[in-house]
Structure 1
Amino acid sequence: MYTIKEAAARSGVSVPVLRAWERRYGIVEPDRTAAGYRLYDDEALERIRTMRRLIDAGWMPSTAASAILVGDPLALATGRAPVAPDVAFDNAARDADLNLIDAFVTAAIRLDAAGLEVVLDRMFGQGSFERVADRVLLPALSNVGEAWADGRLSVAGEHAASHAALRRLAAAYQAAGRQAPRDGAIMVGLPPTVRHELGALAFSTAARRARLPVLYLGPDLPVEDWVESARATLAQAAVIGVVTADDIRPAVEVAVALRATNPDLMIAFGGRSAGRTGEVFNDDPRIVAGSNGGRSEPPVILPEPMMAAVRTLENALAGRARRSDGGPVAAS
């Protein structure tokens, strides 16, 4: 096992870069010492080296991380793509994505409900749900928010665009699989006062497509309802959405209350402010020790790419299951 400094030196990256890859893309999930320090094994080092080789070969970091997380055999073995990246094709695909994003914002500005539906039809015809969410839908919604903030888009236009997207996401969620079982659910939702739910619903859909037992709780959920839901479902994990800096404190309050009820409940934060939320949560003096009397388990920080976030959660759950079955246990 290697410390973070040793792992960085052996894999040829800096410590800040290694931390960023771990937080943003979830390519490794280090064990931790009793004092909370990261420990990396040889498999983790090989993943880090592969990530570095792929990026050096011209891959986008998010694409490289996805190849590693899904276990692309050639990428993992050699650090090379099966075929050299077709830059012209990539640029054309990116241009098509940008055109769809612009068309969605334009339809919102014009309050063109039919136009919004046409653009959404085109978006969802682009490929897998995860690709659509990462490459066009969520960026389009972000641009809608920016257009509203700078005065180009009315509140009515923002609402029309958001609700059109919400209807599509709700349909995709329903089509993604069966309802979560009553016991052992993975709760996904937003803390009190937080209402921007589209990212959380998109993640819930992707996780459900991966056969995870997701229970989507929606936006603006009071702390006491989070706690009661965890008790009623014997939840194994809670994924709390944190998009803006204003969401950090409400998210931490939810996580602290959940851990007070069940010290062993897995806590995960997702969204643009997830990393900072994890730091605030870890520093909170109210965090109780785990059931084994040791240090409370740190939260899982989900990276932003959709499939990377789902894989990170899957890996965290699988690691916990192995430890419960008597596999190698690292202090956490």
Structure 2
Amino acid sequence: MYNIKAVSKILDMPTVTIRSWETRYNAITPERTASGHREYTEENITDLKWVKEQVQDNGMKVSQAVKQLHSLKEEQIPVSSPSVSEEGNYQAQIEELYQAVLRLDSAKCHVLLDLCFSQFHYRTVFHSIIVPLMYKVGKAWEDGEIHVAQEHMITNLVLQRFMNFFRIFETTSTLPKVMAICPQGEQHQIGLLLFTLFLNEKGYPVTYIGADTPLEGLEGLIKENDIDIIAISTSRKKNEMIIQKYIDFLSVNIPELKFIVGGLGVGGVKIGDRQWNIDSSYDNWSQIMTEVNRK
């Protein structure tokens, strides 16, 4: 028997999602202790994992996956992991959110995001719904199709969602401390937010600074907070020289500091002995962090 925290770690799912799938969709019925605490069986975990894979890998709605799960159980068909299909199509969710952005309807955006997080795994929402939405909004702003106020509204809402999830995961004190920044002049931080979410999932203590971080005074903050790694992101190729300025200056004054550089403006190869350039692949992030921790 497992408690909900153990199940959360086994399935890599927030406890809030487990409770939602249990109470709202009746995906499983855990047992209860005498004091009323949930206890989950191996079968419960298998069922949750199956629903998660249907939702995350096959783009199925939670309600549909649960309905199919119950049908399989009624017919006494063993639940097994589905084969991974092509990436789910979330255009309907993206377009509905985009229309709410056009109307400057923040309340509707919140409702739609709540619905997405209740239907899909949080990683799917961030990577497959929010990221394409933000690219769509950003392009519309650059093309003069929407006002900057609309772009700012959805950017702030998305930032709030990321921050909420950053607080969910427990940090591990034995892992290196990370500071996440965008260089001065860089306002686009969606890539940095995604990488910070990944680090939080893995237990890294992360200080998220975010967009438009000046180099002035940064050295002191790094030393005062015992930061081991700087994660820095840019969406523009022209910012590579600015990032190199940050790295050169900080490396001279804090020789042991490590740097992870990502975003659309950089390549995906290692540069130097204490600098790693990453791409947008989740697997690549895991490999890089393993290598960084060995140094």
Equivalent pair of 2:231/2:261 in contact (CA under 8 Å) = yes
Instruction: Pick from 246, 249, 257 the counterpart of residue 241 of structure 2.
Output: 249
Show the 5 A alignment for 1:268-283: 268-275=260-267
- Match of 1:29? none
Equivalent pair of 1:108/1:153 in contact (CA under 8 Å) = no
Show the 5 A alignment for 1:28-43: none
Instruction: Pick from 270, 274, 292 the counterpart of residue 317 of structure 1.
Output: 292
Structure 1: stretches of 5+ with no match in the other structure? 1-62, 64-81, 283-295, 321-332
1:149: Cα distance to partner?
Answer: 1.6
Aligned residue identity for 1:304: S
1:308: Cα distance to partner?
Answer: 2.7
Instruction: Pick from 139, 143, 157 the counterpart of residue 136 of structure 2.
Output: 143
> How far, CA to CA, are the matches of 2:182 and 2:293 in structure 1?
24
Residue 223 of structure 1 aligns to a residue whose secondary structure is coil
- Match of 1:226? 218
Instruction: Pick from 284, 301, 311 the counterpart of residue 277 of structure 2.
Output: 301
> How far, CA to CA, are the matches of 1:248 and 1:123 in structure 2?
35
Higher relative contact order (CA 8 A, sep 6+): 1
1:294-313 CA-partner distances (Å, limit 9, x unpaired): xx5052122213x3354134
Please, what TM-score do these two structures have when normalized by structure 2? 0.65
Aligned residue identity for 2:143: D
- Match of 2:152? 159
- Match of 1:265? 257
Residue 220 of structure 1 aligns to a residue whose secondary structure is strand
Aligned residue identity for 2:142: A
> How far, CA to CA, are the matches of 2:294 and 2:279 in structure 1?
18
- Match of 1:174? 167
Change (3 A) 1:126 1:252: farther
Answer yes or no: is 1:105 the counterpart of 2:98: yes
Structure 2: stretches of 5+ with no match in the other structure? 1-56, 58-80
1:238: Cα distance to partner?
Answer: 1.0
1:181: Cα distance to partner?
Answer: 5.8
1:123: Cα distance to partner?
Answer: 2.6
Equivalent pair of 1:183/1:234 in contact (CA under 8 Å) = no
- Match of 2:65? none
Residue 143 of structure 1 aligns to a residue whose secondary structure is helix
Poorly superposed stretches of 4+, deviation over 6 Å: none
> How far, CA to CA, are the matches of 2:177 and 2:217 in structure 1?
15
Residue 274 of structure 1 aligns to a residue whose secondary structure is coil
Aligned residue identity for 2:229: A
> How far, CA to CA, are the matches of 1:204 and 1:136 in structure 2?
18
Change (3 A) 1:312 1:229: farther
Change (3 A) 1:229 1:83: same
1:122: Cα distance to partner?
Answer: 2.6
Equivalent pair of 1:109/1:152 in contact (CA under 8 Å) = no
1:184: Cα distance to partner?
Answer: 4.3
TM-align CA RMSD: 2.7
> How far, CA to CA, are the matches of 2:189 and 2:227 in structure 1?
21
1:150-189 CA-partner distances (Å, limit 9, x unpaired): 22211121111111111111111122335x8699411111
> How far, CA to CA, are the matches of 1:314 and 1:126 in structure 2?
30
Equivalent pair of 1:266/1:299 in contact (CA under 8 Å) = yes
> How far, CA to CA, are the matches of 2:199 and 2:158 in structure 1?
18
Residue 180 of structure 2 aligns to a residue whose secondary structure is strand
Aligned residue identity for 1:198: I
Aligned residue identity for 2:278: L
Residue 256 of structure 2 aligns to a residue whose secondary structure is coil
Equivalent pair of 2:238/2:265 in contact (CA under 8 Å) = no
Equivalent pair of 1:183/1:233 in contact (CA under 8 Å) = no
1:215-237 CA-partner distances (Å, limit 9, x unpaired): 21222222133322222233221
1:83-105 CA-partner distances (Å, limit 9, x unpaired): 6544xxx47x31xx111111121
- Match of 1:128? 121
Equivalenced residue count is 216
Change (3 A) 1:195 1:84: closer
> How far, CA to CA, are the matches of 1:182 and 1:191 in structure 2?
28
